[in-house]
A and B are shown apart, each in its own frame.
Chain A
Amino acid sequence: MAADATTDATAAAEDTEAEEQKETDERREALLSELSSALGDSVLATHIDPGRDVWARVAIDAWAEAAEVVRHRMGARYFGFLSVIDWMPSPFGRSMDSEVDKALGTDGDSGTDETDEPAEMHHGVTGGESRFQVFARVAKVGDPEDHWGITLVSDIPESLEVPTWTNTYAGADWHEREAWEMYGVTFTGHPGLRHIYLPGDFEGNPLRKDFPLIARMVKPWPGIVDVEALPEVEPAADPGTDTPDGSGTADDGGGS
């Protein structure tokens, strides 16, 4: 009997369904105020996507403490992932493929070519000041009535040092190793920052925007051959309709 512990999915769904729109927003507001009351001024910016998601940007000094707070006080015991983002616009654009974009006119909407402009950083929904940001997602799971996840973000200082989360979430171990090798960000206090994907003698940090994707710089993606076969479709194409697509795959719009 004990092995058959089950929950009726549809009943749970019905309960939350009606209240979903308004209730969860209040729930997420409450989450943020709980976080703010624990961390004080260290919560720098927040963002709510109503009914779906919530973000909070905290100061880097409070990064480790934020993990403690969400795990122990707020109950987000489930560790989703941890990673880093490089906000510097890529100096390479789409490399060889950008030629194809121009030929198709797909690059012409803004009238500018990104690669020529001096790059300006657009930070995401919670803003930011630094080139690199660390972000992690944790969630409360196991309770069908109260299921939420939160994305925590923090600016990484010039020293590229971030306090480790492994003391709070043991599962952050591999994620921090990955972020370390891919972005060159050091996680202070991590029990063993070793390569996880790349060979030990690999130089550079591949996911940084200024790390070129060499294969794409010397040869365009072979898939663009498909694009060349479709020139007769071009004149009839009218942006905003679902005529067959020319952007590189067999992405025909279907419909009427």
Chain B
Amino acid sequence: MTAVTDRQKLSYIAAQAADARVNVELETEGMTLNIGPQHPATHGTLRIVAQLDGEQVIRAEPMAGYMHRGYEKLSEVRTYPQVTTLINRIDWLGSFANEVPFILAAEHLMEVEAPPRAKWIRTILFEMSRVANLILFLGDMGVQLGAVTPVFYAFRDREFVLDQIEKATGGRFHPNFDRIGGLKDDLPKGWLESTKSSMDKVRSFCDEMEDLLLGSEIFQERTRGIGVIPADVAMQYGLSGPNARGSGIDWDLRRDNCIGLAYDELDWKVWTHPDGDSFARFWVRLQEVREAAKMIDQLCDGLPSGPVMAKVPRIIKVPEGEAYVSTENPLGEMGYYLVSQGELTPFRLKIRSASFNNVSITPWLLRGVYVPDIITILGSLYFILGDIDR
């Protein structure tokens, strides 16, 4: 092919942007800066090696793999009910949400459908995972920028949500509550009321964050125009979820491809922001927490009665077939490509996790930025190491 490829175009744009920002008149000696693997800004063990010219990044290379646990291999020797205990630990801040697409894929191949009540409870817990996950982001973003207070509020108010998840599932972090055909148990008594009151706390937390961070001049200075991702670049790298919506892509799997969950019966909005910078990504997530609280209220009010488990065989064998099911997880599109050959274990389980794609854009994105902005950009992309390394 003689035409200029998209990759060349992208690197050309990036190089131009870097050149424009690097001050060529004051030539300085290059230096290599190693960030991580143990660094507060990396949410775990991501290592970033940045080559600097003065204060500016010439080239940055993230290095993953310090926490690779080989779930794709392990799931090939585990039975279907056992796999959910593994995939709980992919995105550990929103663990229930990890189980859902896998269960939906298996249910699709088995031609089993969960009863309506199970679908609704799944949706409630799914959104609660989102709230638990994104609340921490909202506080954490402050820490990345040197504002220490918000994260204390985040941990305080996230506790209300985790308590509710624990009451329903027995696990704060790793519920392992979703089953092929429904859910392990019904909700405990009085759970819906206490959930609704915890959502009030979530809403007041969002208002607090808006006052503390969004309105702050320092916050705006440090996030506006930092780490701008154009929509087309975002799509090429497979950015999904709030990162894509922060670049103005009007795409939400909850609305566009709602399978097995109750989103199409709710009244809610997909928020997008056209700027594509760190501020936009923060803003979209803030709105999504509010939207999730609104959805949980509606779900609690309209929860249908009935069983929470469909009839499934005692021993689960998934018929031969292939299915890809993805859902809109807190971090973005989380999908499982499940290949079954009619046995007790998956034949192949490809885990498409959101953070892997979200972080793969960083070599492109970090060219030409200043060192403190690395932290801002990584913070605003918001990844969970378990979601990169799987």
Contact residues of A with B, CB < 8 Å? Answer: 2-10, 12-13, 17, 49, 52-53, 55, 77-81, 83, 85-86, 89-90, 94-95, 97, 101, 104, 106-107, 109, 114, 122, 124-125, 135, 137, 141-144, 147, 149, 151, 166-171, 173-175, 182, 191, 195-199, 206-207, 211, 213, 216, 221, 223, 237-243, 245-256
A141: contacting residue among B79, B249, B321, CB under 8 A? B249
Given A5-B272, A125-B322, the answer on whether A141 and B360 have CB atoms closer than 8 Å is no
Which residues from B are CB-within-8-Å of A167?
A: 1, 5-8
- 23 sample A-B contacts, Cβ–Cβ < 8 Å, listed by A number: A6-B271, A7-B255, A9-B266, A10-B266, A79-B236, A80-B238, A89-B341, A95-B77, A109-B317, A135-B337, A137-B337, A141-B235, A142-B231, A144-B255, A147-B256, A170-B237, A174-B357, A174-B360, A241-B314, A249-B79, A251-B81, A253-B314, A255-B311
B263 within 8 A of A: yes
A174 touches B78 (CB 8 A): no
Chain A residues with CB below 8 A from B335, complex form? 80-81, 137
- Total A-B pairs, Cβ < 8 A: 241
Complex Cα spacing A177 to B65, Å: 12
Task: Please judge, given known A-B contacts A81-B335, A167-B5, whether A5 and B248 are in contact too, CB under 8 Å.
Answer: yes
In the bound complex, CA of A254 to CA of B180 (Å): 12
Q: Does B309 contact A (CB under 8 A)?
A: yes
Segment with Cβ contacts to A, from B15-23, B30-38, B50-58, B343-351: B343-351
Supposing A2-B274, A3-B275, A79-B357 touch, asked if A137 and B315 sit within 8 A by C-beta, the answer is no
Whether A79 lies near B237 (C-beta < 8 A) is yes
Please name the residue on chain B nearest to A256 by beta carbon.
B307
User: Which residue, B64, B231, B259, B350, has most C-beta atoms of chain A within 10 A?
Assistant: B350
Nearest opposing residue in chain B for A241, CB measure: B314
Nearest 8 A-B pairs (CB), nearest first?
A254-B309, A171-B237, A197-B65, A141-B251, A147-B256, A167-B5, A197-B68, A79-B238
- The distance in angstroms between the C-alpha atoms of A83 and B267, with both chains bound, is 37
The reply to whether A248 and B333 contact each other, CB–CB distance below 8 Å, is: no
A180 to chain B, nearest CB (A): 14
Q: How many residues of B contact A (CB 8 A)?
A: 96
A79 to B356, CA, bound (A): 12
Chain B, residues 252-285, CB within 8 Å of chain A (1/0): the string is: 1011111100011011111111110000100100
Where the two chains meet, the residues of B that have a C-beta atom closer than 8 Å to any C-beta of A are: 1, 5-8, 10, 64-65, 68, 70, 72-74, 76-79, 81-82, 85, 108, 176, 179, 181-186, 231-233, 235-238, 240, 244, 248-252, 254-259, 263-264, 266-275, 280, 283, 307-309, 311-317, 320-324, 326, 333, 335, 337, 339, 341, 343-345, 348, 350, 352, 356-357, 360-361, 364, 389
